[in-house]
């Protein structure tokens, strides 16, 4: 809505919080909590969608579906892509 300062604050909060969210997902995965992994991936997906991180949103969506289906192997397989997508989005945002 044209409020560049607000947009910057929201992005900064996203970039500060998301590594913690990803780490929480990793812990849930290590503990074998598939349904909780799905919920955590859902949170990451929503946050990414709110700030325009489309690739990150897509990876988190796939991990959400896997967690909801109880497929911990698929959740684990998505972790590297999730982290890479976050770092790519963060780098792109810095360049803007």
In this structure, what is the dihedral angle of CA atoms 94, 75, 46, 56, given to the nearest 10 degrees? Answer: 30
Q: What are the C-alpha distances in Å from 70 to residues 6, 33, 37, 40?
A: 38, 8, 9, 13
Domain ranges of the chain: 4-91
What are the tens digits of pLDDT across the range 28-74? 999 999 999 999 999 999 999 999 999 999 999 999 999 999 999 99
Length of the chain: 96
Predicted pLDDT at 2: 61
Predicted pLDDT at 49: 96
Rounded distance, CA 45 to CA 52, Å? 10
Predicted pLDDT at 45: 98
Predicted pLDDT at 96: 63
CATH of domain 4-91: 1.20.120.160
What are the tens digits of pLDDT across the range 82-92? 999 999 999 99
Residue 24 makes CB contacts below 8 A (sequence gap 6+) with 40
């Amino acid at each position: 809505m044209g409020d560049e300062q607000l947009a910057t604050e929201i992005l900064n909060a996203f970039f500060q919080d998301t590594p913690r969210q990803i780490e929480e997902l990793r812990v849930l995965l290590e503990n074998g909590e598939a349904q909780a992994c799905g919920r955590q991936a859902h949170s990451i997906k929503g946050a990414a969608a709110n700030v325009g991180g489309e690739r990150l949103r897509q990876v988190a969506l796939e991990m959400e579906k896997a967690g909801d289906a109880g497929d911990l192997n698929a959740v684990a397989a998505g972790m590297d892509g999730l982290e890479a997508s976050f770092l790519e989005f963060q780098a792109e945002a810095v360049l803007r």
